[in-house]
Chain A
Amino acid sequence: MTTSATGTELEAGAWTPDHAPGEELPPGIGPYRLALRRLRRNYVALAFGALFLVIVILCILAPVYSHIAHMGPNDENVDQATNAVGLPIGPTWKLSHFFLGADSVGRDVAVRLLYGGRNSLIVGALATLITIVLATVLGILAGYFRGPIDGLISRAFELIWAFPIYLLGIVLGLVLGLSGLDLGIVKIGGNSLLIPALIIGVITTPYVGKPIRGQVLGLREREFIDAARQQGLSHVQIMFSEILPNVTSTIIVFIPLVLANAILTEAGLSYLGAGVRPPNPSWGNMIGDGIHLLPAAVHTMLVPGIMLTLCVLGINVFGDGVRDALDPRAKIRIEH
C-alpha cells in the first residue's frame, strides 16, 4: 500500500479473479482512498486548504484575542481610537492595542475581524449544510420517482432559479429580518444568524439539486437498481443505500463550491443591509462600513476585504483540488 499509486492502477482492467467464488476478496483501494492519495500529492491545493484552516482557527480563537486586546467586538473606545483630526487610527501593529486600527466609532478592527469571520463562517457553513441536505433529498426524490413529484420539485427549482440571487436575497432578508420566522416549534428572531443562513441555503439549492437530479435520472435505469428492486428493497432503502452512495462524490465536489459561494453571498447581502444585522460584525458589513468611510480610513475596508478574499480563495483552490482528485475527468459540472 505504501508504493506510489497512480490513478490508472485500478482503471486498468487486467486484474483477473484468482479466488474461489464466495472466498474473501483481496483488499483493494477504494475510490475515496484513491482520491485522497491524489489530493495528498496536490501541494498547491493542500497549501490553500491550510490557509483556510488557519483562518478558521483564528476566528474560533476570537475570544482569546479579544482578551489580549482588552476590547470586545462591540466595545467602543473613541478617545484612544481617533487621531488629531478625529479620524479612526490606522493599524498600529501592536497586538495589545488596535493591531489593525479602529473603525469609525472606535471599535477594534482586528477583534471585529475575528468575530465577524466567525459570523461569516457560521452563516456560510449553515447555509452550505441547508443547501446540501435540501438539494440531495429533493434531487434524489425528483430523479428517483420522476412523474408528478419530479414535476413539482423541478418547477420549484425553476421558480427560485428565475430570481436574480441578490434580488431574492434582499427581499427575503427584508421580510424575515423584520418579522422573524415562526416555524411552529421554534421561533427565529430577526437578528439570528439562522435567517441569512436559511435564505442563502434555500436560494442556492437549485444550483446543486438540478445536477443531482440529472445524475439520479441516469442511475435509476442501471442494472444494480433493478437488482435491488428484485431483492425486494423498499424505495427508501434503494434511495439511501443504492443511489446515495453513487452521488456522494458529486456532493463532496459541490461542498467547497457552495461554501465559497455562501460566504460571498452573505457578504453581499450584509453589505446591502439584508444579511447579518449590525452591530453584529460580519466580513460583509465590515467592508460595507469601510466603504461608507471612504476616502478616509481605507484600512477599515481593506482589512476585512482581503481577509474575505483569502478565505474564499483558500476554499476555491482546495475545492478545485478535491474535484480533480475525485473526478479527474471533470464530469461534474455546475449547470447554470
Chain B
Amino acid sequence: MGRFIVRRVISLIGVLIAITILVFALFQFLPHPELQLAGRFASPATLAHIRHQWGFDRPIYIRYVDTMKLIFTGKVISYDQQLNVDHELVQRLPATISLAVGAGIIWLSTGILFGLISAWRAGRWSDRALTVLSMIGVSMPVFFLGASLSYYIGDKLQFLPASDYVSIGSNPWEWLKHMIMPWFALSVLFIGVYSRVLRSTILDTINDDYVRTARAKGLSERQVMIRHVLRNSMIPIVSLFGLDFASVIGGGAILTESVFNLQGAGQFAATSVQQLDIPPVMVITIFGASAVVIIGALVDVVYAMLDPRIRL
C-alpha cells in the first residue's frame, strides 16, 4: 500500500509539472502580449518599457520559471486591472464549491436512483420514460437549459432569483434560493449519463454467477440488488463522479456559472478570456487541471483500499 501511494504521488507530480509547461507553452503562441497592456496607441518606447518590466524580453525558460514562481507564491497580477489573481480566485471559490457540492449530491443520488429504477424495470414504461428523460437531458446544452430556467422561473414567475450568488455566510436562505436553479441545470446532463451507465452495468452484472449464488442463499431480492449487484455496479460510477466533480471544482462548469452569473472560478476564466487577460486564464487552467489530477489520484488510492485487486 505504501509503495503504491508513493508511486502514485511521484506520477502525480510529473503530471502537474507537465500541466504547467503545457499551459505556459500554449500562451506563448499569443502575439505581442505587451499590446494588451499598453493599449492601442502606445509609443514604441512605452512598449519596450512594458516588455522589459513584465519580462517579455527574457528567454522562454526563465519566463516559465518566473511565471510559476509568481503563481505559486501568490504574487501574479492580471493585465487588465492589475489585481492579484490568486486572491481573486480564492474569493470566487465559495461560489464554485457551493455549485459543485450541491449539484454533485443531486446528480449522484438522482442518477443512482434513476439507474436503479431503470434497470429494475428494464423494458417497462418507467424504464422507457426515464430513458426518454435522460436522452433529452444529455441532448440539451446546459447554458440553454439554464437561461430558459432563469427566464421562465426567475424573471417571469418570480419564483426563484434569476441569477447571482449570495454568500452562505451572509444569508443561508438566500444562498439556497440562488443555488437551486444552477444545481438543477448542472445536474441534468450528469443524471442522464450516470443513470444510463448504471443501468447498463447493472444489467450486465445481474446475470453473473455470484448474483445467482446470493439468490440461492435465500437473500431477499432487495438485499441481492443493493448489497451485491449495486455494490459492484457502482465502480464505474465512482470513477465518473470523481472526475466530473473535480472538473466542476476546477472551474469546469463555466457555462452554468456564466449563465447564472455566479462569479465562480469558471466564469472568472470566461470573462478574462473575453478581455484577453492572460494571467487569470493561466492560473485557473492550471488550478482546474490540478484539481482533476489530485482528486483523481485520491480516488485511485481510495479504490486500492476498497478493492485489493486494483493496483494501478
Asked if A and B bind, the verdict is yes
**In the complex, chain B residues 130-174 whose Cβ is within 8 Å of any chain A Cβ:** 135-136, 138-144, 147-148, 150-151, 155-156
Please tell me if A39 contacts chain B, counting CB pairs below 8 Å: no
Interface size on B, residues (CB 8 A): 57
Q: Is the CB of A166 within 8 A of B200?
A: no
Please tell me if A50 contacts chain B, counting CB pairs below 8 Å: no
**Chain A residues closer than 8 Å to B262, beta-carbon distance:** none
Most chain B beta-carbon contacts within 10 A, residue among A163, A176, A298, A309 = A163
User: How far, in whole Å, are A127 and B311 apart by their CA atoms in the complex?
Assistant: 35
CB-CB under 8 A for A179 and B247, given A273-B274, A294-B147:
no
Contact with B along A244-277 (1 / 0, CB 8 A): 0000000000000000100010011001111000
Given contacts A268-B142, A272-B255, 14 further A-B contacts (CB under 8 A): A155-B18, A158-B15, A159-B18, A162-B15, A162-B293, A162-B296, A164-B250, A164-B292, A175-B30, A260-B139, A274-B273, A301-B144, A305-B144, A333-B200
Q: Name 29 interchain pairs, CB-CB below 8 A, sorted by A.
A: A163-B19, A164-B248, A164-B251, A164-B292, A165-B252, A167-B250, A167-B266, A167-B269, A167-B289, A170-B269, A170-B273, A171-B27, A171-B281, A173-B273, A174-B273, A178-B276, A264-B139, A264-B141, A267-B143, A271-B258, A273-B274, A287-B147, A291-B259, A294-B151, A302-B148, A312-B140, A316-B138, A335-B236, A336-B244
User: How far, in whole Å, are A118 and B19 apart by their CA atoms in the complex?
Assistant: 35
Please tell me if B89 contacts chain A, counting CB pairs below 8 Å: no
Contact of B27 among A155, A173, A175 (CB under 8 A): A175
User: How far, in whole Å, are A268 and B256 apart by their CA atoms in the complex?
Assistant: 10
Least Cβ–Cβ distance between A259 and chain B, in angstroms: 12
Q: Is the CB of B289 within 8 A of A171?
A: no
CB-CB under 8 A for A178 and B30, given A159-B15, A301-B147:
yes
**Chain A residues closer than 8 Å to B23, beta-carbon distance:** 171
Most chain B beta-carbon contacts within 10 A, residue among A164, A170, A317 = A164
Q: Is the CB of B270 within 8 A of A170?
A: yes
User: How far, in whole Å, are A146 and B284 apart by their CA atoms in the complex?
Assistant: 34
Most chain B beta-carbon contacts within 10 A, residue among A158, A162, A308 = A162
Q: Is the CB of B139 within 8 A of A179?
A: no
**Chain B residues closer than 8 Å to A179, beta-carbon distance:** 29-31
Number of A-B contacts (CB under 8 A): 156
**In the complex, chain B residues 1-29 whose Cβ is within 8 Å of any chain A Cβ:** 15, 18-19, 22-23, 26-27, 29
Q: Is the CB of B141 within 8 A of A175?
A: no
**Chain B residues closer than 8 Å to A267, beta-carbon distance:** 141, 143-144
CB-CB under 8 A for A305 and B141, given A170-B270, A174-B273, A291-B147:
yes
Q: Is the CB of B31 within 8 A of A178?
A: yes
**Chain A residues closer than 8 Å to B204, beta-carbon distance:** 329-330
Q: Is the CB of A287 within 8 A of B22?
A: no
**Chain B residues closer than 8 Å to A166, beta-carbon distance:** 252, 254-255, 266
Q: Is the CB of A167 within 8 A of B285?
A: yes
Please tell me if A320 contacts chain B, counting CB pairs below 8 Å: yes
Please tell me if A172 contacts chain B, counting CB pairs below 8 Å: yes
Measured CB to CB, the nearest residue on chain B to A264 is: B141
User: How far, in whole Å, are A174 and B285 apart by their CA atoms in the complex?
Assistant: 13
Contact of A164 among B27, B142, B203, B288 (CB under 8 A): B288
Please tell me if A27 contacts chain B, counting CB pairs below 8 Å: no
User: How far, in whole Å, are A330 and B259 apart by their CA atoms in the complex?
Assistant: 36
Please tell me if B239 contacts chain A, counting CB pairs below 8 Å: yes
**Chain B residues closer than 8 Å to A309, beta-carbon distance:** 136, 139-141, 144
Please tell me if A232 contacts chain B, counting CB pairs below 8 Å: no
User: How far, in whole Å, are A162 and B141 apart by their CA atoms in the complex?
Assistant: 22
Interface size on A, residues (CB 8 A): 51
Please tell me if B176 contacts chain A, counting CB pairs below 8 Å: no
Contact with B along A311-327 (1 / 0, CB 8 A): 01100110010000000
User: How far, in whole Å, are A307 and B296 apart by their CA atoms in the complex?
Assistant: 36
**Chain A residues closer than 8 Å to B292, beta-carbon distance:** 161-164
State the main secondary structure of chain B at its contact with A. helix
Least Cβ–Cβ distance between B178 and chain A, in angstroms: 18
Q: Is the CB of A291 within 8 A of B143?
A: yes
Least Cβ–Cβ distance between A170 and chain B, in angstroms: 5
User: How far, in whole Å, are A155 and B252 apart by their CA atoms in the complex?
Assistant: 21
Please tell me if A295 contacts chain B, counting CB pairs below 8 Å: yes
Please tell me if B304 contacts chain A, counting CB pairs below 8 Å: no
User: How far, in whole Å, are A288 and B140 apart by their CA atoms in the complex?
Assistant: 14
Measured CB to CB, the nearest residue on chain B to A320 is: B135
Least Cβ–Cβ distance between A316 and chain B, in angstroms: 5
User: How far, in whole Å, are A273 and B258 apart by their CA atoms in the complex?
Assistant: 12
Q: Is the CB of A174 within 8 A of B276?
A: yes
**Chain A residues closer than 8 Å to B19, beta-carbon distance:** 159, 162-163
Please tell me if A73 contacts chain B, counting CB pairs below 8 Å: no
Least Cβ–Cβ distance between B207 and chain A, in angstroms: 10
CB-CB under 8 A for A316 and B135, given A159-B22, A162-B19, A301-B147:
yes
Least Cβ–Cβ distance between A300 and chain B, in angstroms: 11
Please tell me if A201 contacts chain B, counting CB pairs below 8 Å: no
Q: Is the CB of A164 within 8 A of B151?
A: no
Please tell me if B108 contacts chain A, counting CB pairs below 8 Å: no
Please tell me if B197 contacts chain A, counting CB pairs below 8 Å: yes
Least Cβ–Cβ distance between A271 and chain B, in angstroms: 5
User: How far, in whole Å, are A272 and B143 apart by their CA atoms in the complex?
Assistant: 10
**Chain A residues closer than 8 Å to B247, beta-carbon distance:** 164-165
Least Cβ–Cβ distance between B85 and chain A, in angstroms: 15
Please tell me if B240 contacts chain A, counting CB pairs below 8 Å: yes
Please tell me if B243 contacts chain A, counting CB pairs below 8 Å: yes
Contact with B along A272-298 (1 / 0, CB 8 A): 111000000000100110110011001
User: How far, in whole Å, are A312 and B203 apart by their CA atoms in the complex?
Assistant: 26
Least Cβ–Cβ distance between B135 and chain A, in angstroms: 6
Q: Is the CB of B139 within 8 A of A333?
A: no
**In the complex, chain A residues 144-190 whose Cβ is within 8 Å of any chain B Cβ:** 155, 158-159, 161-168, 170-176, 178-179
7 tightest A-B CB contacts, nearest first = A164-B252, A305-B144, A313-B139, A312-B139, A164-B247, A162-B289, A291-B147
